[in-house]
Structure 1
Amino acid sequence: MSLGYFSYPLPANEPVLNYAAGSNEKNILKKTLSELKKETADIPMYIGSKEVRTGKKTAIHPPHEINHVLGYFHEGNEKHVQQAIDAALAAKASWTGMSWENRAHIFLKAADLIATKYRSYMNGTTMLGQSKNAYQAEIDSACELIDFLRFNVHYLSEIYKQQPVSSAGIHNRMEWRPLEGFVLAITPFNFTAIGGNLPTSAAMCGNVVVWKPANTQVFAAQMFMRILKEAGLPDGVINLIYVDGPTLGKICFAHRDFAGVHFTGSTGVFNSMWKSIGENIASYKSYPRIVGETGGKDFVIAHKSADAAVVATALLRGAFEFQGQKCSAASRAYIPNNIAEEVKKKLVDGVKSFKMGTVEDFSNFINAVIDEKAFDKIKTYIDNVKKDRKAEVLVGGKCNKSKGYFIQPTVIEAKNPKYITMCEEIFGPVLTIYVYNANKFEETLQLVDETSPYALTGSVIAKDRAAVELATNKLRHAAGNFYINDKPTGAVVGQQPFGGARASGTNDKAGSMLNLYRWLSARTIKETFNPPVDYAYSFLGEK
């Protein structure tokens, strides 16, 4: 029963704490890190009202300290996928029927808990589990996740207000229904905020969710799940399971009540999922919503008018923060020859100044890559460059996994703009630059546009406004998030809705209304106050 129209105004973005020396937040975070390392977490799956422990346990190690065990999570199988679907569907009627304000307040309370009581725990589990430094964790697992929860409540309330016009004698209204069935959320290792947003954005709209995080993000994912439970999320609305991808797909994509998938991960996996869904299309109750943010080969192009220090800083931050493991990370750069030597010197000096090591030493700018598989893949690219005359390593390139998966930030200069590291997604601390003729800016823009199948993020750096306008127009479809005189990373909820097209995904813009529309199914209702009692229209009369 609705007793009023409740307002959820546009929130302010959560302030970023700076963790300065001697600050209260730094002391609290260090204490939490110590606490988390002293414990050995026993992490269940959350299915309906149950904490499910299978006894088949997988150890969680900090990527920067692989001999330490943070805890264990319990792996599931086909049976647990089915149980999660059943629990979700069982919860659907009561969840869908809950008033909007009560649904909204669960997520607003979760945001408040993260901002206060659990801030250090969300950041601490992210730092230890995913090897993020304090700042990278703060902008992700605290601020961005809080923003997703608060802004999505506001955006959804605005959508609910959108109603059709009515003419005399009738009233029209629009219902914004959840989808029929369950939504599958598959989330990546690199952003705890994405891990939280993908299931909650769908759930906020009245959907029920089966959530599978990356194994390398479970430590923070389960912390968020515990916060949702404390905030009052009913049992079965979001079900957190740890299973392998093929097992998940086999059960979910064959289920009649599969209503959609919210995905962030590799382009190859997304393509495979889309194919499986297509092959099963005749068996579904409704056409599933397929929403995905996938790979990127993100660019920076500098114009001859650019400031070399601005270019170098954008690259040092954009390519190497969180070890380049951002979908948006700068991984290819086009530098005009008039400033190339100065930019290269600043890049070399910058990389040499980076400190690398454990997240518990807050002076480390660089930490470890996520796991051994990623380490080996990235190292192979670097080793191949060292043996190739078509490119050279300008700085970095040292790799060591004896204590953690450490790869020194690496800058490569390619002599060929279509060199492999200019084209393929590496997803690590590797930046490839190509020096172009400063008088061939427009031709180089064409090169940028056609080099990669991806179109996620990119930036142009220039003082010349005509160059900025030219790049903006020529690269219109090359990046879903385009930056001018900045690095191509760091999208903020409500400010830069995030997503790309081409091989980078469906561009449904997380952090905006656009994404929420995908988890709603509109129903138009027309009510006639004085219905006609005779079929005949006036035009039928001749006299």
Structure 2
Amino acid sequence: MSVCTTHTTTSGLIMRLTSAGRIGAVLRNNAGRSNTKLHLTGATYGVRSLTSGTYRVPKAFNEPNLHFEPNSPEREHLAKALKTLRSQLPKQVPAIGGRDAKVDSSKPLTPTHLPAEHAKTFSEYGSASEADVKRSIETALAAKQEWQDMPFHDRASIFLRAAELVTGKYRFELLAATMLGQGKNAWQAEIDAAAELADFFRYNVSFAQEIYDKQPTVNSPGHHGRTDWRPLEGFVYAVSPFNFTAIGGNLVSAPALMGNVVIWKPAPMTAYASQLVHNILLEAGLPEGVIQLVNGDAPTITKAVYDHPEFSALSFIGSSDVFRELYAKAAQGVGEKKYRDLPRMVGETSGKNFHLVHPSADIAEAARHTIRAAYEYAGQKCSACSRIYLPESQAQLFFSEMKKELARVKVGPPEDFTAFTGPVIDRKAFERVSKAIDAANADPRLETIVGGTYDGSVGYYISPTLYATTDDAHPIFDTEFFGPLLAAHVYPDAGFDAVLAQIDRQGGGFALTGNIFANDQRAIRKAENRLRYAAGNFYVNCKITAAVIGQQTFGGSRASGTCDKAGSVGLLQRFVAPRTLKEEYNKMGDVLYPSNY
């Protein structure tokens, strides 16, 4: 037997080749080249593997935010990008994404409109047929083997390269698309489509490294155990919402980084922004087919996915009711033995999130945090504050501070840099929230503290609104509006323990985010303990829309989702199927136990 073994320490590679008989091998070990070719008796093989423990991915970091202050260079760049994008509207988006994807002009396109100017068409997207979706699934599965066999650090490099494209070359283009298409102002678009998207790409790489590093540390003499962190055997179905461009990037990057292939169905209002993200990934080196971007009718796409035997996981962010439907549909397929795997259900959904103010709190600070949490991006965050509990002794001071601060808040279009908050996303959302405001304005149990008005003549604008009540059973504390509508319950100072029980009981069954404002440490400790299951993210003297990738993981339970925690190792572990391996080096010698003699 002839053995050829080559170690290349400079490039961190080990090439090992063993064969019986005569072997002719030519090794070209040029650091920086992606492949080393080995020629074996007429056949050519690409062999490249990573030496365990010799390569570490770069340490992740949070992307610094641009501030867009008056006369700043970034403000000028963004204004130019907004002007350019407006001149190109409507943007046409193909039904199926891809490097060379084209819009099929022979088929009807579905328009989306600017939330701030609903007479203006923002995008027109194609709709995939059921047959189109099935072809996309087969395309993804055809790309799966090569993708999962690619060394981890090569996969990681693609997403790290994408992070640089997001924060550099395409930053202002992404911000403009998010601002016009989703109605965000410059600050909200920046923390979403630039910073958080890049953070997800960078931190997911670090989380993946943590997973791959998890190996058994204890072995008996003569034995060796290992873990093979396999991707799921089939494909992942990712469904992303309208309110964060970054969420779509995370829903697809987390499973793809672990070697999975993904069918991605974005919300219609993000069709263009999602196409930009997909194109960035392709430019960064993602092989065609690994992530298949599919636009169109949700039931049509879901039917094709759920009918396929290799459906292995759902990665979903959106409405709790929709997630329940998708969960139940998957369970039905499991009962019918439709799938090879038991599909993983990964979901983060709705919230009816709370601020709790203790009598010892800094009231002015609590008011400022509450305005940010309740009204930034018109309350359209799953983490947004929509109910607040105020002590009777501090309620009027709190309301006074809210009125004073809200008098400085401007509601306006995203292109107006002085606007603090903008429109809700579309007519359906506008009608839902305005109907709730009409009902609240006519309700004698509710006192209007501020707002209670709306104007849909040009854009879908709703004023930041705050109602107060002493009715601790009012249904407003259990109904999710997903808009700039906040309800306050004023409780007796002596009833702090009772209000903790009330907070836990209310909230429509959701348990996503919550907090306490207090300077009494005993009250803080009591709230943390009593509200342990009332929120998956609990904050102390901080607004509840405050999670930062790599610093605070995000996700809730109860009806708010499966609590897999975006921005953590936990989420990525849902997309692997670990295989345990054991190898013995010694000989058994005897089939009988010592006690058998």
Q: Provide the TM-score with structure 1 as the length reference.
A: 0.98
Counterpart check, 1:44 vs 2:94: yes
**Counterparts of 2:161 and 2:383, CA distance in 1:** 30
Correspondences of 1:348-363 after superposition (within 5 Å): 348-363=403-418
Correspondences of 1:132-211 after superposition (within 5 Å): 132-164=184-216, 165-211=218-264
Residues 96 and 128, structure 2, Cα contact 8 Å, conserved in 1: no
Name the residue aligned to 1:98.
150
Residues 99 and 282, structure 2, Cα contact 8 Å, conserved in 1: no
Deviation for aligned residue 1:50: 5.3
**Counterparts of 1:100 and 1:486, CA distance in 2:** 38
1:520 is aligned, of 570, 576, 584, to 576
Quickly say closer, same or farther: Cα 1:275–1:3, change in 2 above 3 A. closer
Name the residue aligned to 2:474.
419
Deviation for aligned residue 1:49: 6.2
1:500 is aligned, of 556, 561, 564, to 556
- Which contiguous aligned blocks of 4+ residues in structure 1 show a shift greater than 4 angstroms? 47-50
Residues 48 and 237, structure 1, Cα contact 8 Å, conserved in 2: no
**Counterparts of 1:48 and 1:312, CA distance in 2:** 47
Correspondences of 1:4-403 after superposition (within 5 Å): 4=51, 5-40=54-89, 41-46=91-96, 51=101, 53-54=103-104, 55-164=107-216, 165-281=218-334, 282-403=337-458
**Counterparts of 2:547 and 2:132, CA distance in 1:** 35
SS of 1:68 mapped into structure 2: strand
**Counterparts of 1:525 and 1:104, CA distance in 2:** 25
**Counterparts of 1:447 and 1:87, CA distance in 2:** 51
- What is the root-mean-square deviation of aligned Cα atoms in Å? 1.3
**Counterparts of 1:10 and 1:299, CA distance in 2:** 35
SS of 1:459 mapped into structure 2: strand
Residues 383 and 512, structure 2, Cα contact 8 Å, conserved in 1: yes
**Counterparts of 2:526 and 2:58, CA distance in 1:** 37
Deviation for aligned residue 1:252: 1.2
SS of 1:280 mapped into structure 2: helix
Report how many aligned residue pairs link the two structures: 541
**Counterparts of 1:156 and 1:200, CA distance in 2:** 11
Deviation for aligned residue 1:423: 1.1
Name the residue aligned to 2:37.
none
SS of 2:295 mapped into structure 1: coil
**Counterparts of 2:87 and 2:387, CA distance in 1:** 41
Quickly say closer, same or farther: Cα 1:524–1:48, change in 2 above 3 A. farther
For 2:181, give the aligned amino acid: G
**Counterparts of 2:233 and 2:97, CA distance in 1:** 20
**Counterparts of 2:114 and 2:219, CA distance in 1:** 59
Deviation for aligned residue 1:46: 3.5
SS of 1:20 mapped into structure 2: coil
1:444 is aligned, of 486, 489, 499, to 499
Deviation for aligned residue 1:305: 0.5
Deviation for aligned residue 1:413: 1.1
Quickly say closer, same or farther: Cα 1:444–1:230, change in 2 above 3 A. same
Residues 323 and 409, structure 1, Cα contact 8 Å, conserved in 2: yes
In terms of mean alpha carbon deviation, does 203-212 or 527-536 score higher?
A: 527-536
Deviation for aligned residue 1:393: 1.9
Counterpart check, 1:529 vs 2:585: yes
In terms of mean alpha carbon deviation, does 524-533 or 89-98 score higher?
A: 524-533
Residues 57 and 206, structure 2, Cα contact 8 Å, conserved in 1: yes
For 2:261, give the aligned amino acid: V
**Counterparts of 2:220 and 2:74, CA distance in 1:** 57
Deviations 1:336-368, CA, capped at 9 Å, x for gaps = 011100101111222232111111110000111
For 2:95, give the aligned amino acid: M
Name the residue aligned to 2:459.
404
**Counterparts of 1:9 and 1:102, CA distance in 2:** 13
Name the residue aligned to 2:49.
2
For 1:110, give the aligned amino acid: A
Deviation for aligned residue 1:445: 0.5
**Counterparts of 2:114 and 2:300, CA distance in 1:** 26
Residues 494 and 511, structure 1, Cα contact 8 Å, conserved in 2: yes
**Counterparts of 1:385 and 1:392, CA distance in 2:** 9
